[in-house]
Structure 1
Amino acid sequence: NRVTNQEVSDRVSSTTIESMPLKAQLSWTGHIIKMTDSHVPRQMLYSKLRQGSHKQGRLKLKYKDTLKSNLKWSSISLRKLEASSTDRSLQRSLTS
């Protein structure tokens, strides 16, 4: 009998290596959302950059960019993530 890696993972209830950074990012973003407006990480998350010049070539990925793409990939809206920051059980379900 052959058992696929996914079946083994489901039986053991372990997380995949690909989901670990996503879980960490969602968890950290939940902490940032709970912070007061005086904290720098929260200011950076909700701020917008002013226009200016940049170097030629591909832009560097920013935390906000990867968060946005990860939320889109996992079908989680930013509003749902913000709501989960006050509800621990909802936050656990999003990051599990």
Structure 2
Amino acid sequence: MDDHRIPKQLLYGELAQGKRPRGRPKLRYKDTCKTSLSKCEVDVNTWEERADDRTTWRTVMKEGTATLKSSYRKEQVEKRQRR
């Protein structure tokens, strides 16, 4: 295909201006919240019902963060032992 043809210019040409950011797209706030809840072992499908009752929610979150901290500490100990 000749260089002056439009399909070749579109497929193989470069943009005159602008850049696309490298890497993956930025996460939404909702996505980061779901990730955090999953790490704390809170069910992402039913967390809203648990959050309606403040005392239950506080208990769930305290247990979840304790689980997260203990698993993080275990990972750090294992990582240090591998060195």
Give the TM-score band, short-chain normalised: 0.3 to 0.5
Higher helix residue share: 2
Larger Rg: 2
Using the size of structure 1 for normalisation, the TM-score is: 0.36
TM-score when scaled to structure 2? Answer: 0.41
Higher relative contact order (CA 8 A, sep 6+): 1
